Amino acid sequence: MLSFDSIAEACARLKGRHVVTPLLEYEPLNEMSGGRVLFKAENLQKTGSFKFRGAFNKIASLDPAARRRGVVTYSSGNHAQGVAAAAKAFGVPATVVMPQDAPALKRKNTERLGATVVLYDRRTGDRKAIAEKIGAETGAVIVPPYDDEMIIAGQGTIGIELSRQLDEASIAADLLLCPVGGGGLIAGISTALRTLMPHMRIYCVEPAGFDDTRRSLEERRRVANAPDASSICDAIVTAMPGEVTFPINLANLAGGFAVGDGDVARAVDALFEIAKLVVEPGGAVGLAALLGRRLELDGRTAVVVLSGGNVDIAAFRSRFGVKSDMI
């Protein structure tokens, strides 16, 4: 199972290559949440999400010969951009399998970073199988979105950074809320904090209808979501928890919460209007859980991970009444 030492090694690989994202606080959001809320702003990370950390660590860990053959991955957007940026940093080719209905911004940014995008129909296609076929034909190394220890270790660097930032600010945090799709982000963070802040209770937050990790934790086995579920949180909708990530999360997490689209939209609005932060719906579910009173802080201090900020620009303009000719 993933070790703290692996995460520390990932920190060394990432040093100077990523953004040490800030820990932010806003008094109006404290008042709305009933306690103290600190935001780990991974929406300000390279490529607009935490995914760069894991992708860079994975590619950095490859031997030079394997790296030269290139990498291939499958993603709806944030991991795609992270892999594209990391591959570009090493000067290696990257291919990304993306659904045809992926947000236009994420596809555009992936291509801008130099990756080759292969589209598929998510209703009829198998993205992993397509990526594996490309890997078999080209020799490219597969960089999974979450079910890989080097990926998880890279995401875990957030936990080490967070511990240092809390210590430097002399803040004692009680809770952490983190968005979950496949579970790699929270698996890495929770592994780091199990060593550095063992008292902290860590909760996953997911969209209603895609709360497979929450339900799996309750049943102590992996369970799947209904195939007809839908959510505005496109970045964190997965069929079921990862094979590698779930045992880690079962050992480390205190539980989980599911939030509806209405609470998520309210959180996105609050972060933009109060904090002036652009956060995608999937990245805002932690705050949604607090605003929707899924968890009562009662004066306690919580860290909320804002996992990404890659909002489709057309949707953003529509939501906030911005016209194209105003920009």
Could you read off the pLDDT of 227-268 as tens digits, one per residue? 889 999 989 999 999 999 999 999 999 999 999 999 999 999
User: How far is residue 222's CA from residue 247's CA, in Å, rounded to a whole number?
Assistant: 9
Strand 116-120 versus strand 255-259 pairing type: unpaired
User: How far is residue 134's CA from residue 212's CA, in Å, rounded to a whole number?
Assistant: 29
Residues 43, 135 contacting (CB under 8 angstroms): no
User: How far is residue 142's CA from residue 300's CA, in Å, rounded to a whole number?
Assistant: 42
Strand 23-25 versus strand 36-41 pairing type: antiparallel
Residue 280 has pLDDT above 60, yes or no: yes
Residues 289, 209 contacting (CB under 8 angstroms): no
Report percent pLDDT > 90 for the chain.
88
Q: Which residue has the higher pLDDT, 313 or 52?
A: 52
Residues 36, 301 contacting (CB under 8 angstroms): yes
Where residue 319 falls among pLDDT bands split at 50, 70, 90?
Answer: low
Quote the tokens at residue 179. Answer: 């968005």
> What is the model's pTM?
0.95
Q: How large is the average pLDDT for residues 270-278?
A: 97
First to last CA, the chain: 49
64-67 long-range CB contacts below 8 Å, 24 or more apart? 66/141, 67/92, 67/141
Where residue 315 falls among pLDDT bands split at 50, 70, 90?
Answer: low
- What DSSP designation does 18 have? S
Q: How large is the average pLDDT for residues 163-167?
A: 98
202-230 CB burial, b ≥16 within 10 A, e <16: bbbbbbbbbbbbbbbbeeeebeebeeeee
Residue 321: predicted pLDDT: 56
Strand-pair partners of 38: 25, 303
User: For residue 217, which phi and psi values (nearest 5 degrees)?
Assistant: -65, -40
Quote the tokens at residue 298. Answer: 């009662």
Quote the tokens at residue 225. Answer: 């979501």
E strand map for 83-214? 94-99, 116-120, 141-142, 175-179, 201-207
Quote the tokens at residue 233. Answer: 């949180």
Quote the tokens at residue 320. Answer: 């906030």
Could you read off the pLDDT of 110-148 as tens digits, one per residue? 999 999 999 999 888 999 999 999 999 999 999 999 999
E strand map for the chain? 23-25, 36-41, 71-74, 94-99, 116-120, 141-142, 175-179, 201-207, 255-259, 301-306
User: How far is residue 225's CA from residue 241's CA, in Å, rounded to a whole number?
Assistant: 10
Residue 324: predicted pLDDT: 40
Residues in the chain: 327
Residues 176, 193 contacting (CB under 8 angstroms): yes
Domains and CATH numbers, the chain: 4-49+149-319 (3.40.50.1100), 51-142 (3.40.50.1100)
Where residue 104 falls among pLDDT bands split at 50, 70, 90?
Answer: confident
Quote the tokens at residue 281. Answer: 């719906």
- The per-residue DSSP string of 238-265 comes to -SS--TTHHHHHHHH--EEEEE-HHHHH
Residue 326: predicted pLDDT: 36
156-195 CB burial, b ≥16 within 10 A, e <16: bbbbbbbbebbeeeeeebbbbbbbbbbbbbbbbbbbbbbe
User: How far is residue 190's CA from residue 200's CA, in Å, rounded to a whole number?
Assistant: 9
What Rg do the C-alpha atoms of the chain give, in angstroms? 18
Query: Considering the chain, what is the average pLDDT of its residues?
Result: 94
User: How far is residue 71's CA from residue 58's CA, in Å, rounded to a whole number?
Assistant: 10
